[in-house]
Structure 1
């Protein structure tokens, strides 16, 4: 990791704010006090459908695309820089994949059952492919590529029979994406709670690339200084609303599904993210309502660091085994039962514990923010 001791002055504040808000929600939904007592909107959909929680991951990938534009636009025109940028991008991808695998081993040091797919792994792969695509293609080509990805994925999932003898289908265990994951990784190296399929598997990474390309498209509009601000915001709102509507229409024949990352899911979540980011841009960067934006910017400027800490800290706390009612329980569960549960109902205690944990990680990130430190991978 690289440590940049000075936060860049020309960052898009609304992007940092929106990314920070996304990370805060990600931490909130990932660390409830008790996973058996969670409000429905803070859980993932069981299969088809989309809860607020299902928006978090595509929002982050979408903003990866937007960030690529802001990071590389000035360098793209200089062909001589491309080789260095591509090597740097490859290095970042490998670091993200390594971090994802390391987090798994931190909790379960078992190489025989090491889970290969994961959140950071997908972010790394999508970031690498999206960056190379941005460097080497035109805007028009990227638009067509996004369409090709979404249409081809639909055709692949609906019309290619599964090699194990099943007809093309979208059931959890027997669809083509699940078969590919089993064939490539084997069940020993997939998500152990689903066993037969992985929610961030290999084939579903293909449409996830379209989410980042959607973000690149929006980023090019945001960064375009030749468009008047009012016109820019109207254009972005219309794109976002059109994508939401198109996603809902596509849902009628290719259901919105996070685990499969269906084409309708790409459109629907990309549209919502466009509307949300545009609203943040209008309020913060255009209208200047910046007074409290820093609260989420604390997460936004060190998003990956915040996510990694949120994954590791619970494990460190759980190393403590604390006596409770005649049993020894792990630290996180003890805090929920001994500190939060006596105060409110189980579901509210679970939410309160999650909020306190978000505040804990925020405090760690605040130290970096105050010292103007951005940790870059």
Structure 2
């Protein structure tokens, strides 16, 4: 027993010495800096990071470089230099944080000769603890190197909060659905209808950015049988679509739980955050057509409509510049660094251009519209051929400026992120012609200072994803949304026709996207890119929008299986919700102090804040309060 106890004590002593040596040798090195082995403070990890201990056993010093799989054609970045072994220390250890969002490749180069020693490809888990053992030995004058990666501590399950949130909101949705079917029961429904006056509510609802009045659209006053049952439901579909886009937008703007897939894509490609703004633009175009047609049928003069459009556009632009401006984070409002463009500014210009384009050629649709002849299947396109020509000319302007405008020190037609992309050849060419135009016309201090490209591609120049050139394609997107409004009006009460045409337009847009992108993220003629608002981005999001609107229309209007709740409520007060969530973003109860290292706490906070805006919009709906401009 004494011998066993002595052996145990000796093992514990050796283990304690080894742990002490490891702790003393761990340095909190920052990627791109040398390791300071004298530091004893343990490395504090952030979200989406793992701890990597790099052990250099019996060899010369080497440099570790890293490259994210998500970074297309990028240069390797230096992670750390690990010194060689010395007599007093048989091995050296360097501790560094590594990215856990995407798989990475680690490349080890001999520091003296800069020759590659080995390469490791691995997907690290958040807050995991890993060791990379690098053993060097000489056999017959030839150095042999082995690299082995082991897991010291398993990572946490960072996606578990998402699963819990899905289960929670799924349960709420089930309860809501059951309540909806109970309300639809005859006795219950009759009692509720006696307590409410839906006609007055419908009269008040005139959603922003050109949405038509629900009670007046389509002119059911003249033909109540044709429109009373169909148009309000169709407009409810539009409100639902708009509200869905808006609520996702609010969620991702609040942080999306700090998950990378709820943030904007760094450059080419799509995430959830990249879908919602284009959908909002699309449905705005749909509403513009229905609204203008409704007002023209009432006898409203075009010049009065033009004044109304100009006033709305002006107000939207002012709100975007002076109320919602991300450059405020640089300090008090200053004209020297005021961001000129943004989300509302782009909506303003898009609304103005599309509305004016429609006013130039629109004619009030009669209630009993019918058409015949060879062009009958294309009546919703052929009747507006001048508009299509002008839109095609606009897109030609975008293509010419994008691919033919010379940009200093950049290749012609460059669509890349700059920074370390394209193997670091064009570091200051972020966005190509789009970035150059904004920096030249608006000034570098008046555009967005923190583009998503600097996250992975480490770009250093300012770039505005809502800049001038991309606004052209926003107009094209809204015009395609306008087409959805024409379909709803031309084929009123013909559910199969509407569904069929939505589907056909979605397929056409999808085919165009497949050709432009070659069904790849980075290798196509024109990749999908939210920062550039590339034409492939427009056609892809139009494809999704037509198919999603088809689904909502089928569920809400045709089969009446869904009332559109809860998204229909923020959809009716979209400007108020959008402006409100931006203005009160940093105020309780939308934000409070939490652990910045916890995805779960961030997700809970962002979901609570988003849900509050849904609740606010519901209360406003019940009180018949609708803010429009």
The alignment's TM-score, normalised by the length of structure 2, stands at 0.53
Whether the aligned pair in 2 keeps the contact of 1:154 and 1:262 (CA below 8 Å) is no
Residue 282 of structure 2 is aligned with which of 42, 62, 69? 62
Structure 1 equivalent of residue 546 of structure 2: 274
- The residue aligned with 2:556 is 284
What is the correspondence of 1:206-245 to structure 2 with a 5 Å cutoff?
Answer: 206-225=472-491, 228-245=494-511
Q: Say whether the 8 Å CA contact 1:142–1:213 is kept in structure 2.
A: no
Residues 1:308 and 2:579 aligned together: yes
Mapped to 2, the partners of 1:350 and 1:190 lie a distance apart of: 28
Question: Comparing 223-232 with 363-372, which one deviates more in the overlay?
Answer: 223-232
Deviation at 1:78, TM superposition (A): 7.8
Higher relative contact order (CA 8 A, sep 6+): 1
Say which is worse superposed, 6-15 or 17-26, in terms of deviation: 6-15
- 2:394 equivalent to 1:170: no
Structure 2 distance, partners of 1:283, 1:109, is 48
Give SS of 1:314's match: coil
Which stretches in structure 2 are left out of the alignment for 5+ residues? 1-201, 206-212, 216-231, 362-382, 418-427, 452-460, 518-523
Q: Residues 243-258 of structure 1 correspond to what in structure 2 (within 5 A)?
A: 243-251=509-517, 252-258=524-530
Structure 2 residue 627 is matched with structure 1 residue 368: no
Q: Distance in 2 between matches of 1:5 and 1:164?
A: 57
Q: CA-to-partner distance for each residue in 1:155-210, whole Å, 9 max, x for gaps?
A: 32122212566533112352111111111111111112144211111111111100
Larger CA deviation: 23-32 vs 166-175: 166-175
Deviations 1:341-365 (CA, angstroms, capped at 9, x unpaired): 8xxx822332221110101112221
Q: Quick check: which one's strand share is greater?
A: 2
Deviates more, 1:263-272 or 1:139-148: 139-148
The 1-side partners of 2:296 and 2:384 are apart by 12
Q: Which protein is richer in helix relative to its size?
A: 1
Matched, 1:91 2:336: no
Structure 1 residues 238-264: Cα deviation after superposition (integer angstroms, max 9, x where no partner): 111220221121122011111111111
Q: Please, what is the CA RMSD of the aligned residues?
A: 2.5
Equivalent residues of 1:241, 1:272 under 8 A apart:
no
Check 1:15–1:5 CA distance in 2 against 1; reply closer, same or farther (3 A cut): closer
1:148 and 2:393 are equivalent in the alignment: yes
Tell me which residue corresponds to 1:191.
448
Q: Could you say which residue in structure 1 is the equivalent of 2:421?
A: none
Q: Deviations over 1:298-321 (max 9, x none)?
A: 110001110111101123449xxx
Task: Tell me which moved more, 364-373 or 153-162.
Answer: 153-162
Over residues 104-124 of structure 1, what are the superposed CA-to-partner deviations in whole Å (9 max), with x where a residue is unaligned? 276643222111110000001
SS, match of residue 374 in structure 1? coil
Q: More deviation in 17-26 or 148-157?
A: 148-157
2:243, 2:574 within 8 Å by CA — same for their partners in 1? yes
Alpha-carbon separation, structure 2, partners of 1:209 and 1:163: 28
1:357 corresponds to: 609
Equivalent pair of 1:33/1:349 in contact (CA under 8 Å): no
CA distance in 2, matches of 1:51, 1:332: 24
Give the deviation of 1:52 after TM superposition: 2.0
Q: Aligned equivalents of 1:347 and 1:313: distance in 2?
A: 22
Equivalence for 2:239: 16
Q: 2:591 aligns with which of 332, 338, 356?
A: 332
| Whole-angstrom CA distance in 2 between matches of 1:151 and 1:247 | 17
Change over 3 Å in CA distance of 1:249–1:166 after alignment to 2: closer
Deviation at 1:6, TM superposition (A): 2.2
Using the TM superposition, give the Cα deviation of residue 147 of structure 1 relative to its aligned residue in structure 2, in angstroms.
Answer: 3.0
Structure 1 contact 208–261 (Cα < 8 Å) conserved: yes
CA contact (8 A) 2:405 2:413 kept: yes
Report if the CA contact (8 A) 1:19-1:300 is conserved.
yes
Paired position in structure 1 for 2:358:
134
Match of 1:298 in 2: 569
Aligned residues: 352
